[in-house]
């Protein structure tokens, strides 16, 4: 299980993507960015993020290009039929073998093709253990019943799932998002790495079985689909570990963390002005997230153009801090940060966002951290990623603060920002 931590995760979030983590009605992705900041500041270093989507690997990758999604440790795709680990997304072969048992894809396709009401979805969504169609709501129950009967006659034990009032998936009986999660939990348990808490999050029919997994907290987001709400009425209403949020999508996930006292649960993006200095759950994560968030707000003119605010940047940088550019030039960041002063408001009213992904910390001495992370920038419709390695040191006179002592940046588009320093901070 490459990419996994060596210890029991403090929290494992298992979230659906479309209309749960991602709000397709919010072009600015406000709640997703709020979640991202919370996760990277307080959870990335000791918890597990799992995405569980109906999408195939192809459509999942498309979504990653469109939306500011974090990189999860585990990706479950194609309605719980494909499990992959780490950044390289290496597949869980054991799970494929489990699903092969008693599965006869050819017969499923042949029998389903007899129903003209079922329209095949695109080729990318037809997967080794998933056959997918569209069908109108009004015709769905009748077709599902008739199709189940026919498949039973062939001694085929399958699972038929209806989602979003339009999608119909046929999977092996042992597949699905809930079964995939149960399989993972069993695997963790056998290695003595069970998560301390698990929160599952969803909005539609294919998420229902996530809420039946033993001992998990669950949130159905405020915009949940009719078929999931019906399932809730019949199956989960009396379960105090499952809530119906009133907030939409990722905001509903944060609401659930607050409801179940999964701490911390306040996103750095929800803190107005400068965050309080003082004990933070994970000082390093907070420094990285808050420093860049302030940079975003400074350039969007969402904070005051004052000495006090600017001082927040300056005081975080060690007077000898060097910034090493990909083309080999090294500059003193403490002096060059002054350029940022003139950038105040240069992105006002524009689509400009900065978010951090994959914070990977390594404590190299009592007071020094070596950390790697990806800094993403969105400027209007253009998105760029900067792989960053940095050294930060606990301030001797203020043990609740860190200062940056070295930063090495590699912009993935190769061009960097030689002319505009503030883009490279």
For residue 154, report the phi and psi dihedrals to the nearest 5 degrees. Answer: -90, 15
405 contacts which partner out of ligand GLC, Mg ion, none, CB within 5 to 8 A by kind?
Answer: none
Copy the structure tokens of residue 95: 């799970």
79 contacts which partner out of Mg ion, ligand GLC, none, CB within 5 to 8 A by kind?
Answer: ligand GLC
Judged by CB under 6 A, does residue 15 bind ligand GLC? no
Nearer to ligand GLC, 228 or 236 (CB): 228
Instruction: Find out whether 200 and 218 touch, Cβ atoms under 8 Å.
Output: yes
Beta-bridged to residue 371, according to DSSP, are 361, 390
Instruction: Find out whether 416 and 334 touch, Cβ atoms under 8 Å.
Output: no
For residue 358, report the phi and psi dihedrals to the nearest 5 degrees. Answer: 55, 50
- C-alpha 4, offset from chain centre: 16
374 contacts which partner out of ligand GLC, Mg ion, none, CB within 5 to 8 A by kind?
Answer: none
Q: Which of 16, 92, 167, 296 binds ligand GLC (CB under 6 A)?
A: 167
129-148 residues in contact with ligand GLC (CB under 6 A) are 132
Closest C-alpha to 323, from 339, 306, 305 = 339
Closest C-alpha to 49, from 20, 72, 16 = 72
Nearer to Mg ion, 18 or 92 (CB): 18
Work out how close the CB of 21 gets to ligand GLC at its nearest, in angstroms, rounded to a whole number: 14
Judged by CB under 6 A, does residue 82 bind ligand GLC? no
Nearer to ligand GLC, 163 or 255 (CB): 163
What span, in angstroms and rounded, lies between the C-alpha atoms of 22 and 31?
A: 8
Judged by CB under 6 A, does residue 75 bind ligand GLC? no
59 contacts which partner out of ligand GLC, Mg ion, none, CB within 5 to 8 A by kind?
Answer: ligand GLC
185-214 residues in contact with ligand GLC (CB under 6 A) are 206
What separation in angstroms does the CA of 259 have from each of 199, 209, 225, 242, 256? 12, 21, 21, 10, 5
Work out how close the CB of 211 gets to Mg ion at its nearest, in angstroms, rounded to a whole number: 13
Which of the ranges 51-59, 88-96, 274-282, 368-376 carries the binding residues for ligand GLC, by CB under 6 A? 51-59
Work out how close the CB of 201 gets to ligand GLC at its nearest, in angstroms, rounded to a whole number: 15
Angle at 267 between CA 264 and CA 269, to 5 degrees: 160
Nearer to ligand GLC, 79 or 391 (CB): 79
**Which residues have CB under 8 Å from 101's CB, separation 6+?**
172, 174
Judged by CB under 6 A, does residue 55 bind ligand GLC? yes
Binding site for Mg ion (CB under 5 A): 16, 18-19, 203-204
**Which residues have CB under 8 Å from 81's CB, separation 6+?**
99, 127, 128, 129, 130, 171, 172, 175, 180
Judged by CB under 6 A, does residue 54 bind ligand GLC? yes
Instruction: Find out whether 249 and 23 touch, Cβ atoms under 8 Å.
Output: yes
**Which residues have CB under 8 Å from 376's CB, separation 6+?**
68, 353, 354, 355, 356, 357, 383, 384, 385, 386
Q: Which of 81, 163, 223, 267 binds ligand GLC (CB under 6 A)?
A: 163
44 contacts which partner out of ligand GLC, Mg ion, none, CB within 5 to 8 A by kind?
Answer: none
Judged by CB under 6 A, does residue 125 bind ligand GLC? yes
Nearer to Mg ion, 55 or 269 (CB): 55
Residues of this chain that interact with ligand GLC (CB under 6 A) are 54-55, 59, 79, 121, 125, 132, 163, 167, 169, 206
């Amino acid at each position: 299980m490459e990419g996994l931590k060596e210890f029991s995760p403090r929290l494992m979030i298992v979230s659906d993507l479309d209309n749960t983590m991602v709000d397709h009605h919010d072009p600015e992705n406000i709640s997703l960015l709020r979640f991202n900041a919370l996760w990277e500041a307080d959870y990335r270093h000791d918890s597990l993020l799992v995405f569980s989507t109906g999408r195939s690997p192809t459509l999942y990758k498309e979504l990653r290009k469109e939306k500011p999604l974090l990189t999860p440790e585990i990706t479950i795709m194609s309605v719980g039929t494909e499990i992959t680990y780490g950044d390289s997304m290496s597949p869980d072969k054991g799970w494929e073998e489990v699903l092969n048992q008693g599965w006869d894809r050819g017969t499923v396709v042949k029998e389903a093709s007899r129903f003209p009401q079922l329209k095949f979805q695109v080729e990318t969504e037809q997967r080794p253990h998933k056959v997918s169609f569209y069908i109108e709501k009004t015709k769905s129950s009748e077709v599902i019943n008739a199709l189940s009967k026919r498949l039973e006659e062939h001694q085929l034990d399958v699972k038929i799932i209806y989602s979003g009032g339009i999608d119909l998936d046929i999977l092996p009986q042992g597949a699905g998002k809930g079964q995939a999660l149960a399989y993972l939990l069993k695997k963790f348990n056998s290695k003595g790495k069970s998560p301390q808490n698990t929160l599952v999050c969803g909005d539609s029919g294919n998420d229902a079985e996530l809420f039946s997994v033993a001992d998990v907290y669950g949130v159905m987001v405020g915009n949940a689909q009719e078929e999931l709400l019906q399932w809730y009425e019949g199956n989960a209403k009396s379960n105090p570990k499952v809530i119906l949020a009133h907030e939409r999508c990722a905001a509903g996930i944060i609401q659930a963390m607050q409801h179940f006292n999964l701490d911390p649960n306040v996103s750095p993006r929800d803190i107005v002005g400068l965050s309080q200095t003082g004990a933070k759950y994970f000082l390093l994560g907070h420094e990285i997230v808050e420093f860049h968030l302030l940079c975003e707000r400074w350039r969007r003119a969402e904070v005051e153009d004052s000495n006090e605010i600017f001082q927040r940047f300056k005081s975080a940088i060690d007077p000898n801090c060097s910034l090493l550019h990909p083309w080999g030039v090294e500059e003193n960041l403490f002096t060059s940060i002054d350029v940022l002063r003139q950038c105040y408001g240069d992105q006002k009213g524009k689509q400009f966002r900065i978010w951090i992904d994959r914070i990977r910390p390594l404590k190299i001495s009592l007071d020094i951290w070596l950390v790697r992370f990806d800094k993403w920038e969105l400027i209007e419709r253009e998105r760029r990623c900067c792989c960053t390695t940095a050294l930060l040191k606990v301030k001797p006179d203020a043990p609740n603060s860190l200062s940056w002592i070295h930063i090495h940046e590699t912009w993935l588009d190769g061009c960097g920002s030689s002319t505009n320093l503030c883009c490279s901070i």
